[in-house]
Amino acid sequence: MAALYEGFTLCGLVQTQNASDSPIQGIELDGDSDHAVVTDSTRSVTLYKVSDQKPLGSWTVKQGQLLTCPAVFNFQTKEYVVVSDNKVIRVWKDEDLNLDKAFKATVTADVWRVHSAPGGEPVVLFQRGAVRFLDSLLSAPQQPVEDVLSEEEVIRWSTNIVAEEQHFVLFTTEQKGECCLYVQRLNPNTLQKYRLEREDSGASPLSFSASLQDKHLNLLYLYPNGCVYQSVVAARGYVGLEGVQALPRSLRLMVPVGEGELGAASAVALDEAHVAVVGVPHPSARTGKDFLCIWNTNFQTLQAGKEMAGRIHGQVWCYLGKLFVSHGKALSVIPYECQKSSLASALGKLRHTGLAGNAALPHGTSTGRISIKCNCSQRNVKLGVNCVQPQPHQTGPVDEVQREVEALVSRGDAQDLQLSVGQLACHLVARSQAETAFYTPVALAQLVQTQFLCHSVCPGLLLLSLEHKDYFLCQLCLQLFPDIPEVVTCACLKTFISNEVLQTPYSDNFLLPHLKDLDTQQVILFLQYLQFVYLKYSQDVYTQTPGLRSPTMTQIIDWVCLLLDAHFTVLVMAPDAKGLLSNLQSFVKSQVKLFSELGKIESSLQELHKMKLSKDISQYSIEVIELF
Amino acid sequence: MGEFKVHRVRFFDYMPTAIRAMAFNAHTERLALARMDGSVEIFNFTDHYFQEKVIPGKDSRSIESLCWVGGRLFSAGLNGEIAEYDLENLRPKYSLEAYGGPIWTIISNTQGTQLAIGCEDGTVKLFEVLEEHIQFERNLDRQKGRIISLSWHPSGTHIAAGMMDMIRVFDVPTGHAVQRLLVDRGFGGSKSRETVVWSVAFLSDHTVVSGDSAGKVQVWDGHTGTLVKTHLVTKWDVLALSVSKDESSVVAGTSEGTVIQFQFIAPTLHQQQDKEWVRTRTFKNHTHDVRALAEIETAIVSGGMDTHLVVRPLLEKFDENIEMAGFDPVLLLFFPQRNLVSCAKKAGLLLFQFPGQLELWRLGDSDEHGKPGDRLPLKRKPEKLLLLKRKGEDHICCSALSSCGGWLAYSTVSSVLYTLHTSSASPRTPPRCLLPPANHQSSLLLLPSLSASMCTPSSPSQVSGSSNMSPQLGCSSLENHRFLLQPIHLMTTSGDGKWLAAANSDCEIHVYNLQKLKLHCIVPVYGSCPSAMGIHPTTNNMTVVHADQQLFEYSIVEKQYTDWSRKLQKQGLHNVWLDRDTPVTHVTFNSKNPNQVVLHDMHMFCIIDQSLPLPDQKTQFYNQMTLRSLSEQERPSHLHAFKICKTFQDLLCVSLLDDQSLVVVERPLLAITSQLPAPVRQKKFAT
């Protein structure tokens, strides 16, 4: 799970004359984790203490001069570096007040960016693609700089990555609609060029983000149609390869774009499973493209969303658990949290393994991700048609809606169903919420059973069914949705107890506060139920029928622990919980005793293991060794 | 360097025997150590704890206690005899019956004029130490019950005796018992059992410290006979005590394998005058009984049932940096520092020497080839060709096998026996010949490779050789023009049988010409004892390794150190090499590549390639792993002369056969431990 927390404004932004230009060139880190170096689009560099929202220092170049690259911090010499007017590199220290008096060096070619990262020397990337270490460049500023790129090729984006002993500069270029990725390895220097796959629409990516994961460089890029692709380049190897390689890509995420294409949007990878996207619409609040959303790419689910006031500039930076977003007239800092959700642990609490086969996850599994790799723009067109034509679900009576849904479901074209089912469900839920008389349980159940829905696609559905006391639909949702928020799970608990609730995936940290909302009677009832289920299953562990959906022992124990954690003090005081608690205590006692007995055996078993090993060494053998 | 086929031999069931007694001579800094089988070993503590002398054991001899008088070594045992040892000829000089039943302990006074023994019949007997002999003087007052332990007051006027349930203090001039200190019995079930006072120590201020079978270390006032302090240190026995020279510290060894230190210090900072005996530190380096202890200036030396000797440095007397560097200062001596395995390089045979027998084995064989790390399938298993049991009571002290495998010899203290077995077809040919015992009391044997001749150092001044192993023997001895005081402990011959080198524990190395039967030259004396040497088969250069790990190469023909040796000395050996704690025990050569010398100690073997550059101090010394990871092109720039392999551990012998395969004889310490009796108390996990 992931969450966005309450943000705050770091600084106001000056509007530029040209509205399409962003007012910020870049945000970089300082030696201090709480500092941010913000370079605006014109002349000044400001150092902020982020938690205090307060500027610590500001440096400006003279009128007429222009900063052409974001200022960076040289972690080795503790100096700041910026480039003005493309060719003048300026280096200054924290205590320098005047930027004009600081060290200056003019180089022979236009600089694109200076990059710096902890643990690595700063590097200078020239507009024509050449790369130099800052140190060696400053020692001979007038050294000739070669052209790497062809005439019409321009750099769109660049970054550098420093990982133990490896230093990379990555940049993407564009030439006549063709995008290329260059990977420059430093020490030893090698340059590798990759061609990105062309999008059918001919559009070029809106944003790039790169990270080093597992000895692979991961490049994440967002297209205007909402597709987020990932390409992987091995950090080692392929050094000797000549020429241009085609860069294979895989679709990580399809962000719903609503009407029209995305304009100023940007995606940044937060970890292996989470992507933050800014400048996109929220799927359930279809108003405008001014949301910051965190998506889980493994499950294709929306984890958190936040509306950003004002125009989004399509810029997002991510440093140390904080997202920096420029929007409207402000630069906002939004702390976030991504709980590491490994698939294995999620599955552990997700479903009974025996059932995983027949209950396929709605477009969340890895096989699903590959299969969606298809023409997205076409689908957008189709959806557009859907929306334009007057449809029965918008005004028609229940039976007409029912017919429409049946027609849609029976079409069986899995590829297209995915989005249209979501759209339709959202419409129906919205209409039901608006007109109290309108409720189509059969149609909704059919839609849920297509298994193309999940909670984040249609958040109102489960609550609506709860409202209408439609427990069949509730059960169905609990059974089939992989991403029900903990608060909704608890809401279900309050209304009814089922096998199904216990099996919904959750994470302890998020569930605990919501569990506290339950009142004592509910908790006691629930605990009694859990105890009953536990006793029932512990008696006939081996006779569980595989077809029946039943929670596993660990799921039951987990829930008991969570409930006790949340309500222990209250339960101790409640007289009617006494018997229950003493039962549980005696149960725990017997378990502890069992485990301690097992612990005693453990060492003996280990000894057996060791004895087996020592037998392996024979009295005599002929071996081959090599000495160098 | 290339690939080697390695015969990894683990079937040599060598079993060291338990350490029973120990005596440290502070004057010469030699430690004498007695084992259960009656053998005595002398370690030189000034020369890297080198085991410079071994007196082989004997079936009827048992040693309970050892005692130095000046440079003379005495022992007493349960056979009721006192023995003095001839440290030059490495055998008992004489032994005499004390007529008091089994003897539990022997001590001397500080003046070195008298010996006292504690006997089973309850007497303490005094002996006068004469120039060449000892003579019975008188008995002290006879007591009821055996005398287990004794300690002489430094002034020489009193003796404390540990007995059953009590300690007696005797006045030596009158012979009367003046004090009786009653020792409590243990608690619970052991209440009915007598307490044995295993050890006593009499300090200058008339304090008596005792260790007993109830697990107590007790401090008594010897003047008044009152108990000052009791330290209950174990549920089992306190077996041994040792006092430091300045009497500020006492160490106690227990059945649990712990060594516990007590110090005479003031318990609080304010009252420096008010000192008392305080238990300070516990060391656990043994798994079994600690039977013998010695606290010397800088270390605590301990030994016991688990057969290894432990030297535990007292760190406060060292630089603190040693501790900071994470360096484990404890020195463990497991194996004898001499050869128990002989290898016939041509025939692929191994001769194992046990105290009571010899075993001759033929190595296995394999046709297969494999890549490094592989274990090859065997075509032929190793085969025990011969089991030769010694005659008489004396244990085998040395043995040798000729490189063709046709000749085999062994020696005890009293006789040399050699045998021949012609081929594998009739390997069980009985021993052929016994040299006349009168001439030969040999501690070392050597069978040169080509000629059928044998060399034995006999009396210190002589090296004898016998050749032409026909029924008629031709014997000759090499007379020294110089009189050597110390016994020869190392010998080697050249491949062509022309040269013989012999080294003694005075660090002298003499080279003889066997054809002329004359002394050829004397190698310049180096300050540390040679621990291994070998003469190169083709160049006749002699490689000598000393106990302090220094390495020399001496040209016998030119009578000087070789250029390589000078270069090595000029540059200095790598610190990692010098810091090793076990000596090199074997030097052998590669007959195919004259540049290669093979050495080994207990933890590694090393092939020195003299054609490669020597490592300087900045070079990574153990570089095999690094070299493995480098590419073919990068490797040459990282090579250096010392190629060390630590794959094989607990090594008793490493040799290079003529077919270029290595023989590695391992004796895993774990296998030795598993043959020991169960310790008294073993802490088991989770019980």
pLDDT tens string B143-197: 998 999 999 999 999 999 999 999 999 999 999 999 999 998 877 666 788 899 9
Alpha carbon distance A231, A45 (integer Å): 34
B93-149 confidence digits (pLDDT tens): 999 999 999 999 999 999 999 999 999 999 999 999 999 899 999 999 999 989 999
DSSP for B558-569, please give it: TTEE-HHHHHHH
> A622 and B6: CB-CB below 8 Å?
yes
Of B364, B647, B662, the CB nearest to A620: B364
**Interface contact B378-A622, CB threshold 8 A:** yes
pLDDT at residue B449 is higher than 60:
no
Q: How far is B654 from chain A (nearest CA, A)?
A: 14
pLDDT surpasses 60 at A367: no
B 589-618 residues with CB below 8 A of A? 607
Residue in B645, B668, B670 closest to A625 by CB? B645
CB contact under 8 A, B372 and A625: yes
At A539 the pLDDT is: 66
End-to-end CA gap in chain B: 52
Whether residue A625 and residue B685 make contact (CB cut-off 8 A), yes or no, is no
Looking at the predicted structure, is the pLDDT value of residue A15 above 80? Answer: no
Predicted ipTM of the assembly: 0.83
Between A256 and B644, whose confidence is greater?
B644
Q: Which one is predicted more confidently, A213 or B173? A: B173
Residue in A599, A603, A620 closest to B10 by CB: A620
Which of residues A372 and A334 earns the better pLDDT score? A334
Q: Residue A363's pLDDT is what?
A: 32
Find which of A363-377, A419-433, B518-532, B669-683 is predicted with most confidence, using mean pLDDT: B518-532
Highest mean pLDDT among A31-40, A327-336, B148-157: B148-157
B645: contact with A, CB 8 A cutoff: yes
CB–CB of A620 and B8 under 8 A? yes
- Position A424 confidence tier, pLDDT thresholds 50, 70, 90: confident
Of A329 and B248, the one with more pLDDT? B248
The whole-number pLDDT of residue A215 equals 77
Identify whether the C-beta of residue B534 lies closer than 8 Å to the C-beta of residue B449. no
Check pLDDT > 60 for residue A531.
Answer: yes
Percent of chain B with pLDDT over 70: 86
Q: What is the mean pLDDT of residues A98-103?
A: 83
Q: Give the pLDDT confidence score for residue A362 in this predicted structure.
A: 33
Per residue in B372-385, pLDDT tens? 888 888 888 898 88
Mean pLDDT of A64-81: 88
Instruction: Give B374→chain A minimum CA distance, Å.
Output: 6
Q: What is the arithmetic mean of pLDDT over A262-283?
A: 84
Cα torsion for A58, A61, A65, A68, to the nearest 10°?
Answer: -50
Q: Is the pLDDT of residue A546 over 70?
A: no
Residue type, B277: W
Beta strand B662-666 pairing with B2-9: parallel
How confident is the model at residue A497, as a pLDDT? 63
B chain contacts of residue A595, beta-carbon cutoff 8 Å = none
Residue B633 touches chain A, beta carbons under 8 Å: no
Do residue B373 and residue A602 have CB atoms under 8 angstroms apart? Answer: no
Judging contacts by C-beta atoms under 8 Å, the chain B residues touching residue A614 are 670
Q: Which residues of B touch A603 (CB under 8 A)?
A: 684-687
d(CA B311, CA B301): 5
Q: Out of B365, B371, B381, name the one closest to residue A624 (CB).
A: B371
Q: Which comes out higher in pLDDT, residue A487 or B265?
A: B265
Phi, psi of A127 (to 5 degrees): -65, -25
A599, A602, A624 ranked by CB distance to B376: nearest: A624
Of residues B10, B369, B687, nearest to A619 (C-beta)? B10
Task: Write the DSSP symbol of residue B677.
Answer: P
- Taking CB atoms and an 8 Å cutoff, what residues of chain B touch A625? 3-4, 6, 372-373, 645, 647, 662
Asked, as a colleague might, if the bond just before A188 is cis with ω within 30 of 0, I would say yes
Residues in A touching B11 (Cβ below 8 Å): 619-620
Looking at residue B440, what is its pLDDT? 43
**Has residue B483 got a pLDDT over 60?**
no
User: Tokens representing B79?
Assistant: 């056979």
**A621–B372 CB contact, under 8 Å:** no
Mean pLDDT to the nearest integer, B297-311 = 90
Confirm if A294 and A483 have CB atoms less than 8 A apart.
Answer: no
Closest-CA residue of B relative to A604 is B685
Residue B607 is nearest to which of A618, A623, A627, comparing CB atoms? A627
pLDDT digits (tens, 9 = 90+) for A276-322: 988 888 777 666 778 888 888 877 778 888 888 877 888 888 888 88
Looking at the complex, does the CB of residue B379 fall below 8 Å from at least one CB of chain A?
A: no
Distances from the Cα of A379 to the Cα of A200, A230, A264, A298, angstroms: 13, 21, 22, 22
- Interfacial residues of A (vs B; Cβ cutoff 8 Å): 599-600, 602-603, 614, 617-628
pLDDT in tens, B615-666: 888 888 888 888 888 888 888 888 889 999 998 989 999 999 988 899 999 9
pLDDT of residue B276 exceeding 50: yes
**Cross-chain residue pair A624–B6, CB shorter than 8 Å:** yes
Q: How confident is the model at residue B478 (pLDDT cuts 50, 70, 90)?
A: low
**What's the CA gap between A90 and A104, in Å, rounded?**
5
| β-pair type (B40-44, B518-523) | unpaired
A219, β-bridge pairs:
A210, A231
**Buried (b) or exposed (e) across B417-446, using 16+ Cβ within 10 A?**
bbbebeeeeebeeeeeeebeeebbbbbbbb
| CA distance to partner chain B, nearest, from residue A215 (Å) | 20
Mean residue pLDDT of chain A comes to: 77
Q: Name which of A383-392, A441-450, B334-343 the model is least confident about.
A: A383-392
How confident is residue A188, by pLDDT bands cut at 50, 70 and 90? confident
With b meaning 16 or more CB within 10 Å and e meaning fewer, what string describes A301-311? bbbbbbebeeb
3-class secondary structure per residue, A2-48: EEECCCEEEEECCCCCCCCCCCEEEEEECCCCCEEEEEECCCEEEEE
CB-closest option in B375, B627, B628 to A623: B375
Q: Looking at residues B472-488, what average pLDDT do you find?
A: 54
List CB contacts (< 8 A) between A608 and chain B. Answer: none
Among the partner residues A618, A620, A627, nearest to B1 by beta-carbon distance: A627
Q: What is the pTM of this model?
A: 0.56
Cβ atoms of B20 and B292 closer than 8 Å: yes
B4 contact A CB<8A: yes
Identity at B656, one-letter amino acid code:
L
**Banded pLDDT at B391 (limits 50, 70, 90):** confident
Tell me the C-alpha distance between B591 and B559, whole Å: 23
Percent of chain B with pLDDT over 90: 45
What confidence tier does A549 reach under pLDDT thresholds 50, 70, 90?
low
Alpha helices in B205-286 (DSSP H): none
pLDDT at residue A167, as a whole number: 86
Is B374 in contact with A603 (Cβ distance < 8 A)? no
Q: Report whether pLDDT(A352) > 70.
A: no
Cβ–Cβ of A620/B684 closer than 8 Å?
no
CA of A120 vs chain B CAs: smallest distance (Å): 26
> How sure is the predictor about A21, in pLDDT bands with cuts at 50, 70 and 90?
low
Confidence grade of residue A391 (pLDDT, cut at 50, 70, 90): low
Alpha-carbon gap: A187 to the closest alpha carbon of chain B (Å): 18
Q: What pLDDT score does B124 carry?
A: 94
Q: Residue A365: pLDDT above 70?
A: no
Is the Cβ of B375 closer than 8 Å to some Cβ of chain A?
Answer: yes
- Measuring CA to CA, which residue among B153, B188, B147 is closest to residue B166? B147
Question: At A496, is the pLDDT very low, low, confident or very high (cuts 50, 70, 90)?
Answer: low
- A vs B, Cβ pairs < 8 A, gives 86
Between A284-298, B266-280, B311-325, the lowest mean confidence (pLDDT) is in B311-325
Q: Which residue of B has its CA nearest to A615?
A: B671
**With an 8 Å Cβ cutoff, is B632 touching chain A?**
no
Predicted confidence band at B239 (pLDDT cuts at 50, 70, 90)? very high
| pLDDT > 60? residue B579 | yes
Please tell me which residue of chain A has the smallest CA distance to B9: A620
CB A86 within 8 A of CB A67: no
A624/B364 touch (CB, cutoff 8 Å), yes or no:
no
Q: Quote the minimal CA–CA distance from B657 to chain A in Å.
A: 14
Q: What confidence tier does A411 reach under pLDDT thresholds 50, 70, 90?
A: low
pLDDT at B43: 93
